[in-house]
């Protein structure tokens, strides 16, 4: 995953309503949820929900499919897995070399920190 894609996804999730919407869509799994159901469950006005869904879709965190006259939103679980892997590769594999760790471990570096 490129840093730009990760930043876009994290930026999209860094807003309370969008995070609540995304969490709800994740809970519905592959069956998905309609915008009307989501708006009702989250007590969010339809137009506000629409704005947040389009933001999540631009970040590729959700996808929609048409079933009859309804749109069904599902989470892009592949992207979520990529984000988790991005964090593992870029945030958890560095050596920890803080003064506190040096003191705690008798001056030795602690390496290979895992999440």
The pTM assigned to this predicted structure is 0.75
Taking each continuous run of H as one helix and of E as one strand, the counts in the chain are: 6, 2
For residue range 12-67, what is the model confidence (pLDDT) as tens digits?
999 999 999 999 999 999 999 999 999 999 999 999 999 999 999 999 999 999 99
Residue 110 forms part of a structural domain:
no
Q: Is residue 111 part of a domain?
A: no
Is residue 113 one of the residues assigned to a domain?
no
Residue corresponding to tokens 């290979």? 112
Report the chain's C-alpha Rg in angstroms: 19
Question: Is the CB of residue 21 less than 8 Å from the CB of residue 42?
Answer: yes
The helix (H) or strand (E) run that includes residue 39 is helix 35-42
Q: With bands split at pLDDT 50, 70 and 90, how would you rate the model's confidence at 108?
A: low
Q: Do the beta carbons of residue 74 and residue 91 sit within 8 Å? A: no
Q: What is the pLDDT of residue 3?
A: 83
The total number of structural domains that make up the chain: 1
CATH, residue 48: 1.10.10.10
Does any domain span residue 78?
yes
Give me the pLDDT at residue 6, please. 87
Sign, CA torsion 18/57/10/110: positive
Residue 69 lies in a domain: yes
Give domain status of residue 115, yes or no: no
Alpha carbon distance 85, 74 (integer Å): 21
For residue 80, the enclosing domain spans 3-104
């Amino acid at each position: 995953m490129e840093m730009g894609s990760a930043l876009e996804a994290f930026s999209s999730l860094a807003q309370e309503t969008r995070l609540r919407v995304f969490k709800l869509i994740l809970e519905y799994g592959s069956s998905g949820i309609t915008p009307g159901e989501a708006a009702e469950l989250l007590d969010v006005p339809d137009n506000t929900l629409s704005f947040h869904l389009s933001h999540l879709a631009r970040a590729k965190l959700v996808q929609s499919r048409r079933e009859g006259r309804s749109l069904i939103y599902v989470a892009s679980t592949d992207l979520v897995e990529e984000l988790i892997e991005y964090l593992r590769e870029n945030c958890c594999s560095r050596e920890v070399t803080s003064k506190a760790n040096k003191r705690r471990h008798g001056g030795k570096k602690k390496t290979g920190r895992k999440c």
